[in-house]
């Protein structure tokens, strides 16, 4: 039987999830309200434990040297994962500057030019570009610019952009699974357990790009006829194509912002060797971006700060507090014990449960809160049942990232991509989205299971 604190923690968490799914208000509102209830009702009211509140808020980590430069010792985090929040904030600022100077539109137009502005090659090239960019920056940003350029291309070449946008959404989530800095679930998992960029790229990266190869082949055959049919009889050949340099808004700031992006990618790849935490890399990204915007004529540091998505950062804070409440009350420990009992101690069964549970749950609800909830669960599974924590981590990352492709609301990139398409006059219905993406999700997750068993079981 559950005690009062556990029942209340679960009720608050479920109510928060329900409010996020309904979507009447931005998700940071129910997350913060739920966090306040967890602190004042559960931890202080029922448990009467100020120590639990301190542990969940985890503010003391911010003044520890090991938080910023942990060296080669993994820095595990409980409660609010400040590594994730600071890193995402820094990357948001850098990406905002890149978008403002036209970097992403310039890159998309270059790729379209390289394939000769042909529709089917654009589908494949934009899928690969989406997957590659999502390895380093938030897939939301990838879709913001890629979907907009796709619609611009569709107007010039007279093709239906919907299949291409769905393919780009799918590719961004698969590509994001390849690295620690890709999708937010990976950042949460990596910072919680002290994994490096190299750890992810050599484990989830191999499997994710095997899945990407399958996805490209799938979308080629699924979309080719529709795309070719939609271009027949058009006058697209006489349409003047935009030159990539037209996308550049401020050339000096463009060059400097691109150099900062390359530096940050290098720091991410080498942070295991340098000993820098991802929070430190996030601060470096934000600091250099603000410095460049302040020094170069035409730059605007205030614009970058104003455009920072504070609501998403507050959502993360509230979410981590709610998950911390489930952890402090012992709910997640009981869930881990239950999974261990059901599996009978068989690692293949555990991997299958985590992978498919993550995939289907992430298709229904946003994969970020699900990943945050499951991190303490797999930690407990590893401690109590002796399963390999890295194996469970790679399984969770692949399940949440790729499973999020299952529906239009499974990941933030899906919501952004479909919203842009609808805004530009190309609504993507649930039926049409599921027609293309759901079979692909099932195929790629199935491939992930086979490769996970071969590599780790």
Confidence of residue 74 (pLDDT cuts 50, 70, 90): low
Query: Quick check: helix, strand or coil at residue 395?
Result: helix
Residue 440 lies in a domain: no
Residue 139 lies in a domain: yes
Beta carbons within 8 Å of 348's beta carbon, 6+ residues apart: 453, 457
Confidence of residue 302 (pLDDT cuts 50, 70, 90): confident
Contact criterion met (CB below 8 Å) for 146 and 129: yes
Is 298's pLDDT higher than 80?
A: no
Domain count of the fold of the chain: 1
- Do 343 and 351 form a contact (C-beta atoms < 8 A)? no
Q: Which two tokens stand for residue 49?
A: 């434990």
Q: What's the pLDDT tens digit per position in 331-346?
A: 988 888 888 888 888 9
For the whole model, what pTM was predicted?
0.88
**Inside any domain, residue 30:** yes
**Distance (Å, whole) CA 267 – CA 285:** 10
Angle between helices 162-176 and 430-456 (to 10 degrees): 30
Does the residue 213 lie in any domain?
yes
Percentage, residues of the chain above pLDDT 70: 96
**Structural domain of 250:** 4-327
Establish if 387 belongs to a structural domain.
no
Query: What is the arithmetic mean of pLDDT over 291-319?
Result: 86
Helical residues (DSSP H) of 58-138, grouped into ranges: 65-68, 82-100, 103-114, 119-133
Residue range 95-101: average pLDDT? Answer: 89
In a domain, 447, yes or no: no
192 neighbors 92 (Cβ within 8 angstroms)? no
CA torsion 55-56-57-61 (nearest 10°) is 50
Structure tokens at 206: 């191999």
Query: pLDDT tens digits for 4-37?
Result: 999 999 999 999 988 887 878 888 999 999 999 9
CA–CA distance, 197 with 35 (Å, rounded to integer): 30
146 falls within a domain: yes
Query: What whole-number distance in Å separates Cα of residue 38 and Cα of residue 419?
Result: 33
**Tokens found for residue 115:** 């394939």
The secondary structure of 44-67 as a DSSP string is IIIS--HHHHHHHH-GGGGG-HHH
Q: Is residue 275 part of a domain?
A: yes
What is the per-residue pLDDT across 225-258, written as a single tens digit (0 to 9) for each? 888 887 665 544 556 778 888 889 889 999 999 9
């Amino acid at each position: 039987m559950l005690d009062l604190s556990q029942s209340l923690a679960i009720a608050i968490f479920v109510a928060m999830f329900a409010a996020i799914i309904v979507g009447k208000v931005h998700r940071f509102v129910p997350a913060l309200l739920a966090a306040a209830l967890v602190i004042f009702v559960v931890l202080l009211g029922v448990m009467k434990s100020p120590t639990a509140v301190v542990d969940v808020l985890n503010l003391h980590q911010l003044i520890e040297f090991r938080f910023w430069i942990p060296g080669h010792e993994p820095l595990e985090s409980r409660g609010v994962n400040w590594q994730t929040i600071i890193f995402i904030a820094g990357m948001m600022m850098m990406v905002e500057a890149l978008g403002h100077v036209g970097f992403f539109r310039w890159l998309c137009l270059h790729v379209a030019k390289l394939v000769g502005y042909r529709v089917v090659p654009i589908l494949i090239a934009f899928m690969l570009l989406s997957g590659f960019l999502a390895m380093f920056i938030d897939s939301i940003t990838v879709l913001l610019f890629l979907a907009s350029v796709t619609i611009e291309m569709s107007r010039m070449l007279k093709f239906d952009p919907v299949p291409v946008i769905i393919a780009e959404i799918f590719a961004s989530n698969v590509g994001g699974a390849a690295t620690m800095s890709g999708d937010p679930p990976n950042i949460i998992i990596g910072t919680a357990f002290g994994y490096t960029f190299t750890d992810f790229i050599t484990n989830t990266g191999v499997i994710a790009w095997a899945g990407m190869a399958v996805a490209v082949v799938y979308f080629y055959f699924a979309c080719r006829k529709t795309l070719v049919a939609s271009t027949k009889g058009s006058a697209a050949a006489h349409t003047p194509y935009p030159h990539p340099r037209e996308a550049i808004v401020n050339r000096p700031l463009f060059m400097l912002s691109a150099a900062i992006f390359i530096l940050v990618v290098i720091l991410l790849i080498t942070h295991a060797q340098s000993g820098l935490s991802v929070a430190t890399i996030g601060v470096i990204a934000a600091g250099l971006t603000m410095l460049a915007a302040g020094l170069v004529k035409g730059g605007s540091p205030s614009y970058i700060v104003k455009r920072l998505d504070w609501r998403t950062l507050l959502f993360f804070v509230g979410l981590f507090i709610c998950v911390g409440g489930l952890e402090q009350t012992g709910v997640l420990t009981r869930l881990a014990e239950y999974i261990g009992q059901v599996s009978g101690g068989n690692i293949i069964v555990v991997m299958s449960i985590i992978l498919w549970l993550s995939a289907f749950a992430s298709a229904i609800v946003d994969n970020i809160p699900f990943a945050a909830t499951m991190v303490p669960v797999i930690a407990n599974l590893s401690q109590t049942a002796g399963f390999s924590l890295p194996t469970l981590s790679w399984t969770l990352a692949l399940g949440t990232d790729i499973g999020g492709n299952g529906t239009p609301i499974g990941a933030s990139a899906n919501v952004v991509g479909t919203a842009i398409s609808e805004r530009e006059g190309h609504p993507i219905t649930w039926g049409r989205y599921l027609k293309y993406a759901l079979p692909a999700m099932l195929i790629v997750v199935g491939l992930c299971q086979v490769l996970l068993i071969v590599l780790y079981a």
